Amino acid sequence: MKIIDVRAIQPVGKNSPPDWRTSLGQILVAIDTDCGITGYGVGGGGLAGIHVVKTVLRDLLLGQSPKDISRLWDEMYQSTLAFGRKGLAIMAISGVDLALWDLKGKAEKVPVVSLLGGQPGQQLPTYCTVWNTQDLESIDSHAGYKLHLGKVSNAGQQDEMIQAIETARTLIGPDPLLMVDAWMKWTVESTIAISRAIEPFQIDWIEEPLSPDDLSGYAQLSEQSAVAIAGGEHEFTAAAFTQLIDQKLHTVLQPDVCWCGGMTELIKIYKMANRAGLRVCPHRGAEIWALHAIAALDPDPLAETGRPWMTWVTGQPEIDGGLISVTDRPGWGLTFDEQSLELVY
């Protein structure tokens, strides 16, 4: 089997941005082979990511066998090293890597979960991310909830945030997990203060309080925060996660498989974290791309609800009664009707 084309497009999704800005510009990568099988993956970077796929990664992959994904990943990393390493070049590689895993599953007629040593069909618990406490007024049956404070996390709003977290716990009751997402907007000092104030509300983790570059800040928090620290959705490659894991800077690691380098990197992150006794809880884990890994590799599975801009991903399993599972369909188990997709690019 040989690769005969590598294509990348950005479909229009509900509430998706009009161009490639921020991490929301998700791209669909399609890899065609000479035996008629097409593999699909999703990466990030919008138009800029598409440009990396079309002008660098496509040339590298044409004529190659898609089978040795690890070698192809290394070649893609090396070919983008001078301008890549983190950010949108790795987001583009992620989409290609996931398409290669789809091809592997389809060629062997098994789902990706089976390639990873797991079984399809296992019922996995989910947690639901919400952007305000009103969304918690009528909760369903998720194992947990995460209050995203990204829009109100500025300095001077500490009391408002603590009040919102207390309200969230009151609304969901004592049993479900409750997490808080600061989206890189707090400081070491404010995180320590808030962690102490919210500890009585049984908070399972504080997510991304600091910039991913502030490793010394995270080292301080690992000693002084009263609540476990989670992070990693804006970190790239397993090599970067090695530092987070070796120094135990996060208790919960949250790689995004569509951004961090794809399944090839997520597998390495799971192995390192499992050895170190740390938890992996992939960003947007209920979306199909990470869900296969959660089903196969996770000793304590918990899948985060997906995002509305991925509505063009057809065949994504639904959450039912707070649970979700992957099917036994080959590859990711998805189908794409490329002709019917409305495109941003």
Minimal distance in Å, beta carbon 42 to Mg ion?
18
Rg (C-alpha) for the chain, rounded Å, is 20
CB of 148 to Mg ion, least distance (A): 7
Asked if residues 273 and 265 have their Cβ atoms less than 8 Å apart, the reply is no
283 is catalytic: yes
Q: Is the CB of 100 or the CB of 203 nearer to Mg ion?
A: 203
Residue with tokens 């203060």: 193
Cα separation, 62 vs 21, in Å, equals: 29
Q: Would you say 147 or 326 has its CB closer to Mg ion?
A: 147
* Catalytic residue (choose from 142, 148, 234, 283): 283
Instruction: Calculate the dihedral angle through the C-alpha atoms of 216, 219, 224, 229, rounding to the nearest 10 degrees.
Output: 110
Enumerate binding residues for Mg ion (CB under 5 A): 181, 207
Q: Nearer Cβ to Mg ion, position 147 or 313?
A: 147
CB of 179 to Mg ion, least distance (A): 9
Q: Are 331 and 102 in contact (CB under 8 A)?
A: yes
Nearest-approach distance from CB 208 to Mg ion, in angstroms: 5
User: With respect to Mg ion, which residue has the nearer C-beta, 100 or 149?
Assistant: 149
Q: Taking a C-beta distance cutoff of 8 angstroms, is the pair 288, 330 a contact?
A: no
Residue 151, number of CB atoms within 10 A of its CB: 11
In 3-state terms, what secondary structure has residue 269?
helix
Give the residue closest to Mg ion by C-beta. 181
Contacts of 77 (CB under 8 A, 6+ apart): 84, 93, 237, 261
Residues designated catalytic: 283
